[in-house]
Amino acid sequence: MRVYLPATFGMLEDLNENGVFHARSGYGFALTPALRDFYTEGDEEEIAHAAFQDAAEASIRLLAIGDEEAFPHRRVVVSVDVDDAAITLDPGMGESVVRLSPARIERDQVAALHVDIEESEEATAKAIEVIDESDLGQEDAMLTVGDALDNFMAFYDPSELPFLVELL
């Protein structure tokens, strides 16, 4: 199953150095039966994009923690392919939420890397400031987070990871 994992640039550096990546708290986002049921229209790709967006929003939450030093205002999503046996659906946490066991991802499981471009940093920085309010349903905060989510994330092939880490 394709799973979208929220991350930070520091987590990409760890993946590059160690060849492994740990899904934060063991959770990811995927095209689940609950997500399919939630949407009345749209093909598989469109619905999977909703799971990707959930991971991109979760990346904002990771950035809000403040641990990211190199790029504190760039969302990162790591797309991985995980054996179905390692996945537990958790629709109580959200339609697209899955729990990974083990939460350890090997480099060869990585299907793609997605990173905010420089022009997106301002909107992401604003979203980081209001992510908690957005989660609580505050309308202006939700719109600010939505603006960040609308921004383009650059796509990188997994083979480009060493260059991405070195050159970005």
Q: Are 85 and 100 in contact (CB under 8 A)?
A: no
Task: Output the six-digit token pair for 129.
Answer: 């400031």
Give the pLDDT means over successive 10-residue stretches in the chain (168 positions). 96 95 94 93 93 97 91 96 95 94 96 97 97 96 97 96 90
- pLDDT at position 168: 76
Helix (H) or strand (E) holding 29: strand 27-30
Rounded-to-integer distance, Cα 63 and Cα 55, Å: 12
For the chain, the domain total comes to 1
Quote the radius of gyration of the chain (alpha carbons, Å): 15
Residue 95 belongs to what domain range?
Answer: 2-167
Handedness of CA 47, 92, 129, 63 (dihedral sign): negative
Kindly give the interhelix angle for 139-149 and 44-65, rounded to the nearest 10 degrees.
110
Cα gap 124→28, rounded to integer Å: 20
Strands of the sheet containing 76-81, edge to edge, are: 87-89, 97-100, 27-30, 2-7, 76-81, 110-116, 153-156
| Selection from 77, 150, 74 nearest residue 114 by Cα | 77
